[in-house]
A and B are shown apart, each in its own frame.
Chain A
Amino acid sequence: MKRDKITEALSGLDEKYIDEALNFNQEKTDAKTGDNTGKHRNKAVIYRWIAIAAGFVLVLTAVSTVIAIKAEEAEYNKALAFFEQNYLSVEGLDRADIKKAYKEIISGRYEGEDVSEVIKKVIPGYEIADSAINDPLVTGEPDSLNEQATWIRVNKALGRDRGYNFTIKWKRKEVPDKDGNMTIGPLEKSIVTCTKDDVAIWTAEIEKMHVDTLYIKRTSVGTLIWGLYQDRPVQYGKLICVDDNGKIIWEKCYENSSDPETVRAVLESKNGTIAVFSLRTVTEDTGKEYSKRIDNKIGISIIDKDGRELSYKSFEEKGSFGIDNAVLCKDGFLLACTRKSTPVIYMLASDGSVEREMSLDSEDFDYKITDMIEYGENFILSAYAYPHTESNDYSRDVLKLLTYCVSHKQEMKNDTENASELVKACYGLYSDELLELAKENFTAVMFLCNKDTGEFEAFYSVKDSWSGEFSLSEDGKLQWFTISVSDIAYVPQYNSCSLIVFGNVLCNVIDEEGCLTNRRNTGKGDQLRR
């Protein structure tokens, strides 16, 4: 419907124009003092252009139909060229099929099975895995990877835990604002429902605590749920244990007189105790609205099945961005943090005391750890390397790309004609050179961490890719997901910008001998946004 399309189109207007129009009030005083002759001159210019445009109306009307047909033909030719460039056959596909398949491939949204074969061959960055069997991508073989794996997932649960799923609803209070109108207020409770095979098993209500599926874990003592309890002005970290009937059997509060302590990771030890990793951000009152962060203190509390604290230790982590990951190791734990741009792994004893500190450091590269897993006697880390930088900014891993974009904006505007529909869909700028830089920027690396020496050894590296997570296949092999850079869009906005790197998710399968046995395209896409 015409009206619906107009409505939808208006939602896609450039944010910079919306921002300009809505913030006009602030510039009203300046506009009033502006040059009036300029207004008259602008008026004259506009009338002149209207007159010129009017002179072309008849001609434009005559060619408008031709233009519409040409637009469809251009789209079809583009799709055809794409097929030819990637050695794909169009046999059996009609005009509409070819255009549809092309759109699906470049957008990453696949609706029909008939494009699956096409996808395998044309996605940029995909490598045929057959030749890689029994042939590691890089030199260096692991010492022993043939032991029975101890798979303990790090704290990246997506609400799924051995067949159990969790869904959450949040209920907020209605409170009057200063004018007496009822408005959305603080959180009243989170309602957590546990299901298995789509059947609800229990429901629990957690008062005044925002719960997320990332912060729920099933253990032998019950289901542990953690988050930040807030009842203004009080707020503190809280850990709750819920039984299989949805009843809260105990709670542990991390109350401090000064700075709030939040629970960041929870693990069940082999002896049945629970290790809780918390973070307290030490702040300094600046006298302004917000306080200044001084440092972080990492706390490790060991609690028993009834929620009683058996021990608590803490240590300072200077300049840290907090806890990324935690995993059990034989007698204790491994804790991954990021100190400025350097990932740091702490090896902790069973009571939480720090035994060793290992950092992933290099002169030329910085690393970001995306997953960590215990495997037999060793620890495997999924990380990606990017060019070294002194910056502590969140976007430091794409700093080189952003620098290029800022200084090459004009050339990119010209090159964007050749950009993919994916890039154009987000109103981005593009250039072939930027895409090449993006590929060079990322190298996915799977590290083996030797527990005895504390050294990291490069195990596998994949160029032109950033790293994902680990999982275990049904037949016990390690699956390492990497994302191969396929496209990039630089989106300059009114007073800021964003960079979106697109990639294709590949699954690298490694057997107990440490050999790559398969590398396949999952057919899924991923994005890295800064």
Chain B
Amino acid sequence: MEDRQIIELFKERSEQAISELSKKYGPLCRSVAFGILKDERDAEECANDAFLGAWNTIPPFEPENLQTYVLKLIRNQAIKRYEANTAMKRNSIYDVALDELEDCFPDASSVEDEVEAKEVARAINRFLETLDKQDRIMFIRRYWKAETVESLAAELNRTNHYISVRLSRIRERLKKYLKKEGIFL
């Protein structure tokens, strides 16, 4: 079913909307959640929460891109659940990816120098525009979707070593870019 039709079902408050959404984006949603949580049952529950989130927000909100909207919902759900479940443990792909990224951000020397998360997001978006397509895809899949290096290598038909080196160089560029933009955390 087309996204537009699914949204119409939501607007009509037809429960078929949820089953169609689950049919179309369920596997992708679960894979995004699993990347963060490393637990199938948790990932499944997150997916259900995300679908319910879509039900509660559509209408009045009408996403222009349904896939991206739902994935954002599930990612947020997964992160919340991850933070609740694993306060001490650090063993998920998501955690490792965040570790990598954290090093890119220069430390602020004082509280006043810290910038807001929105400003950081804008800076990253501008940085992504400077990358070529493959690098950009690698970045998003690694740090937004929390995909493993192995999975990325398979997707892009490259070796694990190539992906690791490439990501390292992207992070290096990001670090320099953020310093130049005055983005401190």
Contacts and interface: CB of A to CB of B under 8 A. Distances in A.
Interface of A: 2-15, 17-22, 24-25, 28, 32, 42, 46, 50, 53, 57, 60-61, 64-65, 67-72, 172, 177, 181-187, 210, 212, 227-228, 230, 235, 289-290, 424-425, 427, 493-498, 529
B173 to A, nearest CB: 7
B63 to A, nearest CB: 9
Interface in B1-44: 1, 5, 12-16, 18-19, 22, 26, 28, 44
A60 B140 contact: no
Given A5-B120, A12-B122, A71-B115, 15 more contacts: A5-B114, A6-B101, A6-B105, A9-B124, A13-B128, A18-B140, A19-B65, A46-B169, A57-B176, A60-B179, A70-B182, A71-B182, A183-B26, A425-B118, A494-B65
Nearest to A214: B13
A424 B118 CA distance: 10
B64 A496 contact: yes
B144 A290 contact: no
Given A6-B120, A19-B65, A13 B125 contact: yes
Given A28-B155, A184-B52, A228-B14, A11 B75 contact: yes
Nearest to A230: B15
B98 A7 contact: yes
Contact of B182 (A28, A68, A498): A68
Contact of B112 (A72, A177, A228, A529): A72
Nearest to B146: A10
B41 to A, nearest CB: 9
Contacts of A19: 65, 67-68
A3 B102 contact: yes
A13 B144 contact: yes
Given A15-B65, A64-B106, A71-B182, A32 B13 contact: no
User: What 3 A-B pairs come out closest when comparing CB atoms?
Assistant: A12-B121, A21-B140, A67-B182
26 contacts: A5-B117, A6-B185, A8-B120, A9-B117, A9-B124, A10-B121, A14-B125, A15-B68, A17-B128, A21-B136, A21-B137, A24-B155, A32-B157, A42-B132, A50-B172, A172-B52, A184-B51, A186-B19, A187-B15, A210-B15, A212-B13, A228-B12, A228-B13, A427-B125, A493-B64, A493-B65
Contacts of B12: 228
Contacts of B120: 5-6, 8-9, 12
B133 interface: yes
B48 interface: yes
Given A60-B179, A290-B5, A20 B133 contact: yes
B91 interface: no
Interface in B75-127: 75-76, 79, 98, 101-102, 105-109, 112-118, 120-122, 124-125
A425 B67 CA distance: 22
Contacts of A9: 117-118, 120-121, 124
A50 B130 CA distance: 12
Contact of A7 (B79, B108, B128): B79
B144 A10 contact: yes
A46 B166 CA distance: 11
B75 A60 contact: no
A131 B113 CA distance: 47
For the residues of B in contact with A, the DSSP-based class is helix
B72 A11 contact: yes
A61 B12 CA distance: 56
Contacts of B5: 289-290
Interface string B50-63: 01100000000010
B171 interface: no
A60 B180 contact: yes
B147 to A, nearest CB: 9
A9 B105 CA distance: 12
Nearest to A38: B132
Contacts of B102: 2-3, 6
A6 B98 contact: yes
Contacts of A68: 108, 113, 182, 184
B113 A13 contact: no
Contacts of A5: 114, 116-117, 120, 185
A42 B166 CA distance: 13
B71 interface: yes
A325 to B, nearest CB: 18
Nearest to B130: A49
A172 B48 CA distance: 11
